[in-house]
Amino acid sequence: MTYGIESPGKIIAVHLNYPSRIAQRGRTPAFPSYFFKPASSLASTGGTIERPAGTELLAFEGEIALVIGTEARWVSPEDGWAHVSHVTAANDFGLYDLRAADKGSNVRNKGGDGFTPLGPVAIPTEGIDQDSWRVRTWVNGALVQDDTSDTLAFPFGQLVADLSQHMTLEPGDVILTGTPAGSSVVLPGDVVEVEVDAPNVPGAPTTGRLVTTVTQGTTAFGDFGNTPRADDLQRIEAWGSPEEHAAAVAAGRATPLDGPAAGPLTDEIRALLDGVAVATVSAALRKRGYVDIFIDGVHPNHEGDTILGTAKTLRFIPFRPDLFAAHGGGFNAQKRAFDTVNAGEVLVVEARGIPSTGTVGDVLALRAQVRGAAGIVTDGGVRDFAAVQQFDIPVFSQGAHASVLGRRHVPWETDVTIACGGAAVQPGDIIMGDRDGVIVIPPALLAEVAAEAAAQERADAWVADRVAEGHAVDGLFPMNAEWRARYAAETGAA
């Protein structure tokens, strides 16, 4: 580049800044937040980036990079832009497989060699306003990002001023100002190009295209540090959305979602519980000291519905305007839950037992059905109740309510321990329901409880037949020794 400093003292990157990306992420920051990238991550145009062996989620982020020209310390937002001497193109590559290892610091997932290409030309900022810039990104010749600096939540001058409160910004330091929507995963062989220009300025100055080709690495990470791990949520966030991930899977470019891990709810256990009443299972749990396992107040949307599956959880918290502004929009926790529920799972929603809330509507219920969910349980209300009744998926709730999201709740988090209808529910718990209600079965007890409940159900059916024949219930229900001996003789039961 032409601004004269090849190795900046600091590379500082902004997490979220473009409204299009903020909407996609579903959280609205009140102030900018940052992370550092090492100078060793720098690369130039025409270079390559290696996707490390054992990883799958290398993602690009086309960005506008600011180059500090004069020292800045305790400057104002109005004066911040004046300390920027050049603007250039950047690609803030990141490896989603290592996000869990960093816990937000981004040291490993964004600090690799070649993970910060800059260039090829740095444009002098003299005479050009901070709102005049555009960034565009192409992957294999297709335009995938296109946005302008006049949309930013945090303008360039504010970034400089904010950072200058905490550290001295020195000539040559680089600030990566955030990426718009459209960031996604690239594979070995893909070519990524980023260009920054000022299209409405005389002469339309441009950086030219910053070109990076993805290659495949061959050296595996050692077991003496955190190793890469990709899960379903990381796959969806890396590709941009569930639909984009699904399209990439269909095109052979992405790994399918893992789905639920194998658990105790086997085909054999399902067969045991087929036709067994919730009341019978609850009695078996009570014998073992589990009495607060009822999700109270919920009823099925179809008469005769039953439900049996593994819990996936969603938690709402009480409404507060600032929290809803930060967590209620975009790909929020509610949407994530319905977009990632897997076949055989029951989506259990903590709505704080408030019936005057619409915690699921027709679109989300349909999404869960399409994904093969075993059902939905919410201790709140259901919007579009009549429409939801037309679907096959069992939905247990406190009834109908027309309210929309944002009246009483903020969608907060998924896959955590929740309280639904007075019962503690953890991801992986077994959820069972019928017209009598819904109960929670701890996974460790499932096999023995299912076996006992199935045996009890057979015995109860035999007793009912005897009552229908005219026998009195005294001594028969429960069976005394005489009736128990007759039952064993007739059925072979122990």
CB atoms within 10 A of CB 357: 27
**DSSP assignments along 29-44, one per residue:** -SS--EEEE-GGGEE-
pLDDT < 70: residue spans in the chain: 1-6, 259-262, 494
Helix 232-239 and helix 242-250, axial crossing angle in degrees, nearest 10? 90
The structure tokens listed for 161 are: 């001023």
Quick check: 361 and 382 in contact, CB under 8 A? yes
CA angle in degrees (0–180, nearest 5) for 45-51-54: 175
331-to-168, 362, 411 alpha-carbon distances in Å? 36, 17, 10
Tell me which residue has tokens 């003299």: 126
Residue 6, pLDDT score: 66
Determine phi and psi for 326, rounding to 5 degrees: -85, -30
What stretch of H or E contains 254? none
Where residue 371 falls (left for φ over 0; alpha for ψ -120 to 50; beta otherwise) is alpha
Residues 383 and 360: their CA atoms lie apart, in Å, by 6
Residue 28, pLDDT score: 81
Quick check: 416 and 427 in contact, CB under 8 A? yes
pLDDT in tens, 166-211: 999 999 999 999 999 999 999 999 999 999 999 999 999 999 999 9
Collapsed DSSP state (helix, strand, coil) of residue 79: helix
β pairing state of 430-434 and 437-441: antiparallel
Reported pTM: 0.66
The structure tokens listed for 177 are: 């100002």
Pick the CATH number of 11-250 from 3.40.47.10, 3.90.850.10, 3.20.20.150, 3.40.50.300: 3.90.850.10
Domain boundaries, the chain: 11-250, 291-441, 447-491
Q: Does domain 291-441 have CATH number 3.40.47.10?
A: no
Exposure of 331 in the CB half-sphere (CA atoms within 13 A): 18
DSSP at 355? S
Quick check: 59 and 186 in contact, CB under 8 A? yes
Nearest residue to 346 via CA among 396, 403, 293, 388: 396
Residues 169 and 163: their CA atoms lie apart, in Å, by 8
The structure tokens listed for 160 are: 């400089």
Q: Which residues of 399-431 are buried (b: 16+ CB within 10 A; e: fewer)?
A: ebbebebeebbbbbbbbeebebbebebebbbbb
Residue 234, pLDDT score: 86
Tell me which residue has tokens 């960034």: 135
- Cis-peptide, bond into residue 120, ω within 30° of zero: yes
The structure tokens listed for 340 are: 């990632």
DSSP at 217? -
Helix 232-239 and helix 333-340, axial crossing angle in degrees, nearest 10? 110
The structure tokens listed for 321 are: 């305007």
Q: Where are the alpha helices (DSSP H) in 74-137?
A: 77-80, 99-102, 107-110
